[in-house]
Amino acid sequence: MKSTVATYSIGEVAERFGLATHVLRHWEDVGLLAPQRDGAGRRRFADDDVVRVAVILRSKAAGLGLGQVAALLDGEAPQRHEVLEAHLADLDRRAEEIARARAMAQHAFECEEHDVARCPRFAGFVEDILAGTRVTPGAWGSPGPHAHG
């Protein structure tokens, strides 16, 4: 008995992930995908290809560019660790920015000052921008509700 492997058309894969078909074609052009072709030359995506599309999407959502994704997916890429090390540093930077943004929003939410730009504690959230320096997130502590007098 002949074993058959389920395959999917480019349209089916695109629809599954909410992509335009030209995105999948582009990823193929840059070497991220290599679906098989049927007798008529049409792309046929196997389950491994579908998983690869999901990995590309998750990697892009994590902030990786297509070149970085290529290094991640290529098990032989000598720059893989270099790319991932740089990406981890970027994620740490972004996490710091998110923590700063959250602390700022939390303070603004709890602040009794009508115009937060006049709040002396809130001003600390923009000191680094005004000075052209970088302030470590959390340097202002955990601002709680307060009144200004």
30 inside domain: yes
With a threshold of 0.85, does the pTM exceed it?
Answer: no
Average pLDDT of the residues of the chain: 84
d(CA 135, CA 96): 10
Same domain, 21 and 60: yes
Structure token pair of residue 18: 């909410």
Of residues 76 and 52, the one with the higher pLDDT is 52
pLDDT tier at 88 (50, 70, 90 boundaries)?
very high
The total number of structural domains in the chain stands at 2
DSSP state of 111: B
Same domain, 97 and 60: no
Structure token pair of residue 128: 């680094």
Helix ranges (H only) for 39-132 are 47-61, 66-73, 80-110, 120-123, 127-131
Q: Which domain holds residue 117?
A: 93-131
